[in-house]
Amino acid sequence: MLDRRDFLKAAGATVVGSTITTVGSAPASAAIAAEPPQTAFLDNNPRWVVRPFPLHRVSIMDGTVFAEKRNRVLNYAAAYPVDRILHNFRVTAGLATPPGSSPPGGWDDATGNLRGHFSGHLLTMLAQAYASTGSTLYQTKVNQVVAELARCQQALAASGQYSHPGFLAAYPETQFIRLESFATYPTIWAPYYTCHKIMRGLLDAYLLVGNTQALDVVTRMGDWVHSRLSVLPRATLNRMWAIYIAGENGAMNEVMADLYALTGQQRYLTTAVCFDNRQSLFGACLENRDTLTRLHANTHVPQFLGYLRVFDQNGLAEYRTVADNFWRMVVPHRMYAHGGTSGTWPAAPNLAANTNPELFQPRGNIAGSIGANGAETCTTYNLLRVARNLFFHTMDPTYMEYYERGLVNHILGSRRDADSTSSPNVTYFFPLALGSVRSFGNTGTCCGGTGLENHTKYQETVYLRAPDHSALYVNLYIGSVLQWIEKGVTVTQTTDFPRAQESTLSFAGDATFDLHLRIPQWAVGFRYWINGVEQTGPRTPGTYLRISRQWRSGDTVRVAFPFRTRTESTLDRADVQSLRHGPLVLGAISTATTLRNFSLYANMKLDGRLALPSAGATNQFTSNGLRLRPVYLGDTQAHHLYVRRNEPTIVFGTRSSGVPNRQGFLDAVWAQAPFADHPAFLAHVQQVCTTWRGRGLLSQTEQTAVLNAARAAEPDLRP
Ligand SMILES: [Zn+2]
């Protein structure tokens, strides 16, 4: 057994900075001396069949694209003034603000109806920054914010103006009261949404940093929420939560269920179910009736995270059923290539136009809703949370397929590759529009807030474990170090994924456990080696590979997962396709505003691989006169995430037959790939020719030209 104190001694000072080093060093999160409450909290969930590790036990390796994005947000977190987080709270509580103090800004300005929300996100970011680095800089900030929020809560209580002494907000109680008489936006603006951010921030301060005062403050807030909602009739609650924007409440049911789990006080669970959105969506999802179209996406996604948390506590099956059913209405039926959802669409027969990009598009409408903006980043943040929680219950690898897609495309690409201590530099929408440009910034918006969280918790789902510590699940190939203290094992994963197509796991410490390696759906050709010896046997994409073994210090497992370049058709238009490279979505760089025509069959190889010419940089290619780049590159070049597949002529490699590609001739040829060899390929081309001739789609002369081109292309087709 590796003594835990050795970890702690080995942990050096943590340096915060965006300096990019080579892959191989990890920040010393093990500097956190005592186990924070999150450790016991995650272990206290009998319904989870797999469990995450506490955030501080996993460190992202410097030199990876994940660390680059994270370090930029850590710089922002390090520079962010505590007084600014507190400003609006102090003003509301009648406490003095220091000279020069100002509100966070954006929607969290001096007078806005959403003030306080960004401060909640900032508190979560600081707590996650501490868990990720062990740096006392963040710990001190968290403790300062919590102490002052407690003082604000006390001052509000002492004023005698509020319905219950637990009230804490950055504005008076008015908005909550008005919601109960069904005030609409913009008279009020989502009071419980803001309340959720503040409660989540406080819970994270307790769980990740161990600040017990935060638990005290958030518990009192929970008492206040209970006092307001527990006296309202169900019909009133139903109507409140169905009000557009005004009734948006984030994942209030999640934080109330968490409070119940932490305290055992029934009133918090009673309050959690007060947030059931019974009028708008709960019942429909229970019956698996898809009523999502035109509902505000990010209002509803987090509610399902809360329903899962309620299920964790009360075990009532309907709370899990609604989440399962809701999920399948969004993924894949409303999911864009990068993992985002919601968009705009033009009017069509039997379909009125929609210009609000935050609304769920009609089921199956993907190519049809590539309008202006769309794919709000905070919605993907919440979809990732729902996906991971569904995986905790089911171990169904499809949830991890989604998680990886959303993480390495939408989320990684939502952070600009430039430092700023004055802006989160993250996206609101991650538009699918043709020739669209990402707009980075978002101080004080919903996506600005969740953006601060996204990039400071990349490690949260890399590894999971069996409840009894008998198995380890490697879900994501992200360079990282796991301190598995219960087993006395340190797992070091060295990789620059997704800029690398292999990863090496090395183990320090002796222990027996099952290692489950995720083989992503895209990882055709996955290979692995134990201590340098290649292993054979089934390696099925879309499953987990189990290796049972007595692990010894120094053991290594190397995995290789070649990125295949391929296309992915939209559900509604087979010719509108995204370009994929392994897990990545490639954007075609172009300022044009109409679909770009792409011919790709000339690049097909006998093994079914699309071999595009390299553009001279990692994961970048040139095709059809345009540069293709992974969307994790966070800059403002105009790009197209969808292109129109256009194959006018039957071609093989550099050989053109000159014959029109009628009725998907080439689709029929390549549907049979991979081919064992060139003769097998020719035989199949001959077969398709015969079929097409039989249907009157090919003349004798054309068939000869096609077969001649297929024959002559032999060198081009070699894998
Ligand atoms: Zn948002």
What is the CA(168)–ligand 1 centre distance, in A?
A: 23
Half-sphere exposure of 403 (CA within 13 A, CB side): 27
What is the CA(124)–ligand 1 centre distance, in A?
A: 16
What pLDDT is attached to residue 6?
Answer: 35
Q: Which two tokens stand for residue 121?
A: 């996100």
Contacts of 228 (CB under 8 A, 6+ apart): 163, 164, 176, 180
Nearest CA to 707 out of 696, 717, 694, 688 is that of 688
Within 10 Å of residue 497's Cβ, how many Cβ atoms? 22
User: Does the global pTM surpass 0.85?
Assistant: yes
134: left (phi over 0), alpha (psi -120 to 50) or beta: left
What is the CA(241)–ligand 1 centre distance, in A?
A: 18
What is the CA(378)–ligand 1 centre distance, in A?
A: 4
Within 10 Å of residue 492's Cβ, how many Cβ atoms? 18
What is the CA(445)–ligand 1 centre distance, in A?
A: 7
What pLDDT is attached to residue 16?
Answer: 37
* pLDDT < 50 regions, the chain: 1-22, 27-30
What pLDDT is attached to residue 34?
Answer: 86
Contacts of 283 (CB under 8 A, 6+ apart): none
Q: Mapping DSSP to helix (H, G, I), strand (E, B) and coil, where does residue 600 land?
A: coil
What is the CA(381)–ligand 1 centre distance, in A?
A: 9
Give the CA dihedral 406, 498, 516, 491, nearest 10 degrees.
-120
What is the CA(206)–ligand 1 centre distance, in A?
A: 25
What is the CA(325)–ligand 1 centre distance, in A?
A: 23
What pLDDT is attached to residue 36?
Answer: 97
What is the CA(382)–ligand 1 centre distance, in A?
A: 10
Q: Is 538 exposed, middle or buried (0-12, 13-18, 19+ CB in 10 A)?
A: exposed
What is the CA(499)–ligand 1 centre distance, in A?
A: 28
For the stretch 655-658, contacts whose Cβ atoms lie closer than 8 Å and that sit 24 or more positions apart, written own/partner, are: 655/709, 655/710, 655/712, 655/713, 655/716, 656/709, 657/702, 657/705, 657/706, 657/708, 657/709, 657/710, 658/705
Q: Which two tokens stand for residue 261?
A: 């789990």
What is the CA(447)–ligand 1 centre distance, in A?
A: 4
What is the CA(245)–ligand 1 centre distance, in A?
A: 12
Within 10 Å of residue 709's Cβ, how many Cβ atoms? 21
> DSSP label at 15?
P
Nearest CA to 398 out of 460, 462, 479, 332 is that of 332
Nearest CA to 601 out of 642, 560, 563, 652 is that of 652
What pLDDT is attached to residue 24?
Answer: 52
What pLDDT is attached to residue 31?
Answer: 55
